[in-house]
Amino acid sequence: MSTKRKNYKVKEAEKSLHKSISKKVLICAGCIVLLLFLLAIRIFWIQFIDGDSYKMMAYNQQTINQVISPNRGTIYDSTGKPLAVSAGVDTVSINPTYIKAKNKEKVAKALSDILSLDYNTVLDKVNSTSAFQTIARKVEHDQIESLKTWMNDNKITKGINIDEDSKRYYPYNNLASNLIGFCSNDNRGLSGIEYKWNSVLTGTPGRIVSLKGSKSQEIPNDNEQYIPAENGSDIVLTIDYNLQSIAEKYLKQAVEENQCSRGGNVIIIEPSTGDIKAMATYPDYNLNTPSEPYTTSQRTAYNALTSQEDRNHFLEEMRKNVAVSNGYEPGSTFKIITAAIGLEEGKVSTDTKNDFYCSGTEQIYDTAIKCWRYYNPHGYQTLREALEHSCNPAFMQLGARIGTRTLYQYYKAFGLFDKTGIDTAGETNSIFYNEDDVGPVDLATMSFGQRFTITPLQLITAVSAIANDGVLMKPRVVKQVVNSDTGVITNIEPQKVREVVSKTTSDKIKDLMYSVVQDGTGRYAKLDGYSVGGKSGTSEPTYSKKDDGYTSSFIAISPVENPQLVVLVTLYKPQGKKYQGGETAGPVVRQILSEALPYLGIPSSNTATTSNSNDSDYATTILPDVKGKTMEEAEKILKNAGFYVSSHTSKQASEAIVQDQVPKSGVSLISGSQIYLYDEEQTEHSSTTVPDLKGLTSSQAINALKSKNLNISIEGSGKVISQTPTSGTSTEVGSMIHVTLMDEIKDAY
């Protein structure tokens, strides 16, 4: 090949190589330009589109943002007793990635031991790849101090967090539990007052913002922000601790004595203001452990449930405030309303002879509705007698005179078609027939309080209007809101709704209610020294709800001439010896009023001593105080007073000094009562169980108690209608059991 040709080929190869290199350079340059373009787009996106989020991420990485939990407001009763308070506790959490691998098991062991947690559960959290895990909430201070000491001893400075928190406490456990309600773990109200007033009680969290270094240590700086928490406001209830305690004590006793399988409730209201002074439900629950059944029967029923859904439903029912959330047929207590409407409309007067006639049944078209005393009809009656006898035919006749349209106008005026608007959670409304659908039979049954449902609160609110000269008041349970930071008080004033009936009608109904207690089916509610008016109620279950059983109730006002209290006792499905409202609920009202009226300082008209009201067959003597005397001296004094003595000492009677006596001195005891004396060495007293005395005569009750080494205090004559303490209670020997006797009432509906 010639030299010329070789040079030509070299030049062609060089050209091809140059073109190839140029192409590659262009491609590289293009790629660089494209990358720069994409980078510019990314920078633009980061700067202008995602800029705020990246700023926030940087801020979070560079700052410590501590939340300051506000204190939840305290709930007080009307006397200033704290019913719900918040106390300082702590929340323990971890950052698993900050805990060194060699320390993980040690940390898990320490946390589980100190905080009483399951080790394997804690270890799983410590080994987690997540950035944050909560270990325990609401940790008490003594446990926190132990944890801090362990961390210091083991030089653990990262990964375990201790944050301030608060825990809700209820000092009186079960008191008004179904009314007050409870909170979740994060202090959010879940039921009752706690739920209804959550926004007022909660407050607003505060925070501290400061800089932190790469190792999460705090860096002092002048720009630290401190935003204080705004604590929740306190609220003051109308509930009176003492009246609530009285109501709960006697309600529990009544439910247990009458074997009320569906429980019961009590409401006490001040009619002039609408203030709820007590609202009790039984069975109740412990507010400090709201997910645990309280009574033995509750635990048995709960443990028998297999599904979690059923158990959750059971707990929801257990926590219900039945007085506002459950409707029931009021029965004959509702005759008060029918009578008031009839008097206000001029359809009846109180004492017109032969105004009504009871043949034992009332024929309403093709339906015969029986009187409860159909086997021995009431015959001709006045309105007063019809109410005293609780005669259904008489009130069916009165309802027909009034008519559906007028009845419904007054039902609306009494507030029976609407929720009362009470300031707690869970209130439900009544269920009535539509007015256009009410037939003659429906009208008849409504007139004596059946085949519609209202809540206990709706009934007592309506009857309180009659007691309050005809003026309906909105029921109130919260009377003040107090700013816990400034002390500023906001009063929630009583609210008048409307005048429903005249004062004249009000006075007539109060007089009729007094007659019911003095001479009618309400005699078990009669209280020596105080004027009491009332009405019993016993409603039958509908055919479709036979398992619900009877509902027995009694509503009372006292003093009749100027009512200070209205009391409603409702017992669901009593299964004891009696089920009628007058017999089961009437004595409970009497017991409540016997303590409530003196507590409120309402004077008694009875100037006689307690001993004078006892069964006249048994003379009583005041028990002298023999403490500090020798056993020998004490025995002589007591025997001379007509008592038997049981001395408990290991010394000679002339040397032993009496340190205690049972019963205590100052009580009135019948002759032959047994007194128990103890010296300073005899600190343990024997106990015994109180027997069931209801239905016994005084002599039978005395003998029953003597067999149990117990003494008796007797009020009235006849047969025992109530006793305190209740049967089955454990008490020390020699204790005095108070019994109330009354002649048996055959017509106690």
Would you state the structure tokens that stand for residue 353, as one six-digit string?
């002879």
How many domains does the chain fold into?
A: 3
Q: Are residues 128 and 34 in the same domain?
A: no
Q: Are residues 8 and 141 in the same domain?
A: no
Query: Percent of the chain having pLDDT more than 90?
Result: 50
User: Which positions ≥6 away from 739 have C-beta within 8 Å?
Assistant: 693, 698, 701, 712, 713, 714, 715, 720, 722, 723, 724
The answer to which of 32-46, 203-217, 338-352, 400-414 has the lowest mean pLDDT is: 203-217
Please tell me the predicted confidence (pLDDT) of residue 215: 47
Q: Are residues 212 and 113 in the same domain?
A: yes
3 state SS of 606: coil
Has residue 147 got a pLDDT over 80? yes
**Where does a domain end: 204, 237, 270?**
237
**Where does a domain end: 237, 267, 301?**
237
Q: Are residues 41 and 73 in the same domain?
A: no
691 located within any domain? yes
Has residue 614 got a pLDDT over 50? no
Q: Are residues 9 and 81 in the same domain?
A: no
260 located within any domain? no
Q: Are residues 623 and 654 in the same domain?
A: yes
Q: Are residues 28 and 131 in the same domain?
A: no
The answer to which of 169-173, 306-310, 665-669 has the lowest mean pLDDT is: 665-669
Residue 135 confidence class, pLDDT cut points 50, 70, 90: confident
135 located within any domain? yes
CATH of the domain at 95: 3.90.1310.10
589 located within any domain? no
The answer to which of 3-7, 448-452, 597-601, 634-638 has the lowest mean pLDDT is: 3-7
Q: What is the pLDDT of residues 551-571, one digit of tens each?
A: 999 999 999 999 999 999 999
Please tell me the predicted confidence (pLDDT) of residue 610: 39
415 located within any domain? no
Please tell me the predicted confidence (pLDDT) of residue 616: 46
Q: Domain span at residue 232? A: 65-237
Q: Are residues 104 and 207 in the same domain?
A: yes
Residue 613 confidence class, pLDDT cut points 50, 70, 90: very low
Q: What is the DSSP letter of 45?
A: I
Q: Are residues 77 and 25 in the same domain?
A: no
- The Cα 584–Cα 553 span in angstroms is 8
Q: Are residues 42 and 93 in the same domain?
A: no
User: Which positions ≥6 away from 689 have C-beta within 8 Å?
Assistant: 708, 728, 729, 730, 731
Residue 227 confidence class, pLDDT cut points 50, 70, 90: low
Q: Are residues 229 and 117 in the same domain?
A: yes
Residue 218 confidence class, pLDDT cut points 50, 70, 90: very low
90 located within any domain? yes
Please tell me the predicted confidence (pLDDT) of residue 615: 44
State the DSSP H helix or E strand holding residue 272, giving kind and residue range, or none if neither.
none
Residue 579 confidence class, pLDDT cut points 50, 70, 90: confident
Q: Which residues of 370-383 are buried (b: 16+ CB within 10 A; e: fewer)?
A: ebbbbeeebeebbb
Q: What is the DSSP letter of 321?
A: -
Would you state the structure tokens that stand for residue 733, as one six-digit string?
């020997």
Q: Are residues 38 and 134 in the same domain?
A: no
CATH of the domain at 669: 3.30.10.20
Highest mean pLDDT among 37-46, 159-168, 462-471, 639-648: 462-471
**Where does a domain end: 186, 209, 237?**
237
Stretch 4-16: mean pLDDT, rounded? 62
Q: What is the pLDDT of residues 401-435, one digit of tens each?
A: 999 999 999 999 999 999 999 999 999 999 999 99
Mean of per-residue pLDDT scores for the chain: 86
Residue 226 confidence class, pLDDT cut points 50, 70, 90: low
State the DSSP H helix or E strand holding residue 636, giving kind and residue range, or none if neither.
helix 631-640
725 located within any domain? yes
Stretch 718-733: mean pLDDT, rounded? 86
Higher-confidence residue: 122 or 52? 122
Q: Where are the alpha helices (DSSP H) in 262-391?
A: 296-303, 308-319, 322-325, 335-344, 383-389
Has residue 451 got a pLDDT over 70? yes
Has residue 70 got a pLDDT over 90? no
